[in-house]
Structure 1
Amino acid sequence: MDFLFVSWLGTPAWFWLAFAAIVLLLTAFDLGVLHKEDREMGISESLKLSLFYIAVAMLFGGWVWWAKGSASGMEYFTGYFIEKALSIDNVFVISMIFGFFAIAPKYQYRALLWGILAVIVLRALMIAGGAALIAQAYWVMYLFAAFLIATGVKMLVSADHDPDIGNNPVIHWISRHMRVTKAHHGAHFFVKEPDASGRMVRAATPLFLALVVINLADLVFAVDSVPAIFSITTDTFIVYTSNIMAILGLRALYFALAAMVHRFHYLKYALALVLVFIGGKILIADFALGGAKFPPLISLGVTLALIAGGVGWSLWKTRGEAQAGA
């Protein structure tokens, strides 16, 4: 059993195995118990399930705090809340994607599930690559910082502009190189249908196209979120676990937020300021503080304050819409 205590990326192997077991159990519970059949999830169920995932993430963070120390625990919670906040912006884009492809709500959860499973693998590759770059050349962190600041400024300038999903080049490429059905086929990603000669051929459905675009959107968001968490800590275990714990509850939170997406307009500005703050924090720590570590408690406090301010201001500015809806 000595291999359980072998250090892997700076953390004992049994830490990684314990985390993998938690992810597998949550996914099995979600698929095998909660969603054996395709059905629409209500806002109440969405909120309850999201609270369950948040509770699991908090308990895991408490374990990290106890097992790896208070500094690692604080870094985990900071990374978790940053990723959770950035994931909210991702929800808005996912809602637009499902709307564009006219995916029925009862089949959206299936696409979200497969999308998140792909995210678990893709984020692992991106985080491993980022960790390897930083280990070889620390100056990469300055590139991350500049990128985060530039992205935050761009978000501030273009927060009022929604992405043009219809002109996505990947959709055009798939449509040119793969047969795509015009009709929906329930929860199926591929079906067989007759071609011009009457021969049965395999064709992708709009649900598959939605899944592809959702994964591409997550890659775009990962380019922001992964450097953001590396600015908090270079501990690969903390970076990956906080990232995945935040994403696991995304599919549960989606249905509650998608119903209120119009009420969170100003949150985008808050998220942009979070990115600018995180990027600037790297430069402050290395140049203004002489290489001293930026206090994790201040990072967490500023991040939560900006997000809370964005949420509160959005709800206040759109309170008339809520009354009209009621």
Structure 2
Amino acid sequence: MPEWTERANKNESGVETAKLRVRPLAAILIMLGGTVALLLGIAISVSFGAADIGLGTVWEAIVWFHPDITQHQIIQELRLPRVLGGAMVGASFAVAGALMQGMTRNPMADSGILGLNAGAGFVLAICLAIFPGLPFMVLILYSFLGAGVGAGLVFGIGSLAKGGLTPVRLVLAGAAVSTLLAALSEGIALYFRIGQDLAFWYAGGVAGTNWFQLKIMFPWVAGAMLAAIMLSRSVTMLSLGEEVATGLGQRTGLVKLAGTIIVLILAGSAVSVVGAVSFVGLIIPHLTRFLVGVDYRWIIPCSAVLGSLLVVFADLGARIINPPYETPIGALISLIGVPFFLYLARKQRRELS
């Protein structure tokens, strides 16, 4: 397959599509190599901890589990759900970011930057304060609601400015809304004395993930991932511009609505498990587009694999830096994400000037 594929077709309306840069071979290699690296990372992460466990024991605990063996219990009840949860969360944030960037044509779109994480955290703070005994399934639903509230506020405020909604205004509105919601969450935490419970959501981490959470989260994430792949061709057209997509017969309003619902499900599910981890959905889609091109039929699955890799190895690094204590994975990812965000902001400013 050629590394570069160019398409320039005209539809009945006479609209010419932009040339699409596609690297299918690179995408296939990323998915295959990334999956192997992910499996290796999961195995290493499961074996590493306060009690070092050999890879052979990890395999035995997965294939021939014996509840009477302490190491098998540690693997099955603590480490395996933690690592699998991290992989699921990484894929969710990455695919959500890819969809947001494709639909809005905003290179700085990310669930953390645009208020989705803060909105989900704010509603979760209300739930922990007023309804502390809610089951996890209900918390996920409230996370979806909170993510939608955060996104609605950001897009609403950003649209009020003269000149419309630009990428820079969207990011500024996201920063303002996220700060406001975080402050309100902290106020709720102080008043209702749930600061210790809420601290987990701010720090971000997968240490408390269990099988029950994964069983509830998995159908939502799997369904949203499948829907994202089915929508990927339409997102590719939309990323070329709304006029181009309309000229090619795309129902852009319906595509945006479906994509928004998918993003809310992915971001809400991830935040309910890992907390407010930002920049995964910012970094990974840019890296994926650089490697495989601009076709979202390849971007979405590759982003899922690379996002899982990032969070799994970030979680492993969080346990290596200062054992036996753990560094929040949100802080580790931010060490990469903040400079990358500043680079994008400066690049965007140069392009607008």
- The reply to whether TM is greater than 0.5 is no
Scaled to the shorter chain, the TM-score interval is: 0.3 to 0.5
Higher strand share: 1
